[in-house]
Structure 1
Amino acid sequence: MRSRSLLYFSTLIFTISLLAGGTMSTCAQSPKSSFRVVAIAEKNGGVHAPFVAEAKKWLAQVASANNFTIDYIENTEPINDAFLANYQLFIQLNYPPYMWTDTAKAAFQKYITEGKGGGWVGFHHASLLGEFDGYAMWPWFSEFMGGIRYKNYIASFAKATVHVEAKLHPCMKGVPASFEVEKEEWYTYNKNPRPNVKVLATVDESTYSPDSNIKMGGDHPVIWSNEHMKARNVYIFMGHHPDLFKNDAFVKIFQNAIFWGAGVPKQ
């Protein structure tokens, strides 16, 4: 019975990937893929459509060059224990910590807390924690992100310098000690996540250009990992503007995070 179920699921994935406009698509596939990745992004990219479009093009190239498969979903309806068991990495490319089904919440929480073969890379909107669009805040996800709640953002964007703090972390391998990000919103939170997470990089608020009074007060983490969870995980705040894929440091961090999160060496 189990083998028939697995065959059915594999056939379903393959069939859906052939349908343009479906809720899941496969951007790179090989019969001997070294690992499988699923990425969630809102339908048509949501408010970050240009970033998502560039991300998908870049991910297609990286997947092809490194022999892994990546599938996309547009909402959390497909997510359950059996679904996640097929993937070594979950990328929250452009999706907030709300609009999740109860089944998806339970499965994802288990995936992260038990860490049985799966990792997570989250971007930007993954820390949009609070009451939004009529949804209550997901308390567990807030704890996963370091116990934070979203507070404010720089709506007009600002250029800033990011400083790498955990230079020996695998996600920071080959990344310069400091690098600039041209356009970002630089979210602030109700408190600093630092006491509850391992901070990998911070943004230097004194370098904001143009300057802004929307700040965390000096210590402003923008990349971190919650080492209390068994699954390898990293949150990367940057993830709004498509030009990030012209930023060598951002691309390097993203690529490092994929292979570290999946628990496989880069080919």
Structure 2
Amino acid sequence: MKKTSALLLPIRLLTLIFLTGLHTFALAQTKKPRFRVVAIAEKGGGVHAPFVTEAKKWLAQVASENNFTIDYIENTEPINDAFLAKYQLFIQLNYPPYMWTDTAKEAFRKYITEGKGGGWVGFHHASLLGEFDGYPMWPWFSEFMGGIRYKNYIATFAKATVHVEATNHPVMKGLPATFAVEKEEWYTYNKNPRLNVSVLATVDESTYSPDSDIKMGGDHPVIWSNEHMKARNVYIFMGHHPDLFKNEAFVKIFRNALFWGAGK
């Protein structure tokens, strides 16, 4: 009898450990996410598809580590008030400010101007403002981006140095004073958005390599926030090449923007 009891003890202990593990797993599976994110990236994406692919991998890892969820859409058809109300952050990962349905335009405008739902992080194509692919420019989005219109870009790409300007802004937290971006198109606009937005970082046009005549004339914002809107928002011009996810500064900016935009 004593021998049998001695054998039962480790069996019971193992059973208890197993059941505790199952309970912990079940709790993890049912744990409510901290927040929900929706990201829009057009189907296919052309030359920007590799950037989107890397972004999705990175976001999946960050979401897993920080207990939030991400849903992806490829066009604006699903967007309305009820749809946006489910999310605490809208990421415009690779989608221009045209090809939007009228319902989506109005819902997004309210989401940003009223600030009742969540924040916004936009990359690269979000400032492609003008008449493209048969679509007119969306005037409100132009105002949101600082009253600008797209003018030109460096089609052959250029390496450049970015200067952090708003060192105290949460999106710029932990960034060095300057950092290099190896390959970008560096859009130019019909005017500088600075008068209408808070500039967080600029690109030093004198560092273009190879040099280019396509410049803003010295003051060239590339990361900014429109503080006239109630929703937290930040536009990050970079977003063309997948190697950006090997750039520690870019990854830190994206991560900071994600949690700041979601209010977390």
Q: What's the TM-score, normalizing by structure 2?
A: 0.88
Aligned match of 2:195: 195
Aligned match of 1:19: none
For the residues of structure 2 that align with 1:210 and 1:184, how far apart are their CA atoms? 11
Aligned match of 2:16: none
Secondary structure at the aligned position of 2:227 is classed as: coil
Deviations 1:209-254 (A, max 9, x none): 0000000000000000000000000000000000000000000000
For the residues of structure 1 that align with 2:49 and 2:30, how far apart are their CA atoms? 27
Aligned match of 1:114: 114
**1:152 and 2:144 are equivalent in the alignment:** no
**1:60 and 2:60 are equivalent in the alignment:** yes
For the residues of structure 1 that align with 2:261 and 2:159, how far apart are their CA atoms? 28
Whether contact under 8 Å (2:202, 2:220) holds in the other structure is yes
Whether contact under 8 Å (1:30, 1:69) holds in the other structure is no
Whether contact under 8 Å (2:84, 2:117) holds in the other structure is no
1:122-133 alignment to 2 at 5 Å? 122-133=122-133
Aligned match of 1:25: none
Secondary structure at the aligned position of 2:45 is classed as: helix
Q: Percent identity?
A: 89
How far the C-alpha of 1:31 sits from its partner, in A, is 4.3
For the residues of structure 2 that align with 1:146 and 1:124, how far apart are their CA atoms? 15
- The answer for unaligned runs of 5 or more in structure 2 is 1-28
Whether contact under 8 Å (1:30, 1:68) holds in the other structure is no
How far the C-alpha of 1:30 sits from its partner, in A, is 6.5
Whether contact under 8 Å (1:45, 1:53) holds in the other structure is no
For the residues of structure 2 that align with 1:46 and 1:37, how far apart are their CA atoms? 24
Deviations 1:23-46 (A, max 9, x none): xxxxxx974110000000000334
What is the identity, as a one-letter code, of the residue corresponding to 1:53?
Answer: T
C-alpha spacing 1:44/1:30, structure 2 compared with 1 (3 Å): farther
For the residues of structure 1 that align with 2:99 and 2:223, how far apart are their CA atoms? 24
**1:238 and 2:259 are equivalent in the alignment:** no
Secondary structure at the aligned position of 1:43 is classed as: coil
For the residues of structure 1 that align with 2:256 and 2:112, how far apart are their CA atoms? 19
For the residues of structure 1 that align with 2:30 and 2:99, how far apart are their CA atoms? 32
Q: What's the TM-score, normalizing by structure 1?
A: 0.87
Aligned match of 1:26: none
1:1-267 alignment to 2 at 5 Å? 31-264=31-264
What is the identity, as a one-letter code, of the residue corresponding to 1:198?
Answer: S
Q: Post-superposition, which runs of at least 4 consecutive aligned residues in structure 1 deviate over 6 A?
A: none
C-alpha spacing 1:46/1:75, structure 2 compared with 1 (3 Å): farther
How far the C-alpha of 1:47 sits from its partner, in A, is 3.3
For the residues of structure 2 that align with 1:241 and 1:216, how far apart are their CA atoms? 22
Deviations 1:87-135 (A, max 9, x none): 0000000000000000000000000000013100000000000000000
Secondary structure at the aligned position of 2:44 is classed as: helix
C-alpha spacing 1:203/1:101, structure 2 compared with 1 (3 Å): same
How far the C-alpha of 1:181 sits from its partner, in A, is 0.1
Whether contact under 8 Å (1:149, 1:189) holds in the other structure is yes
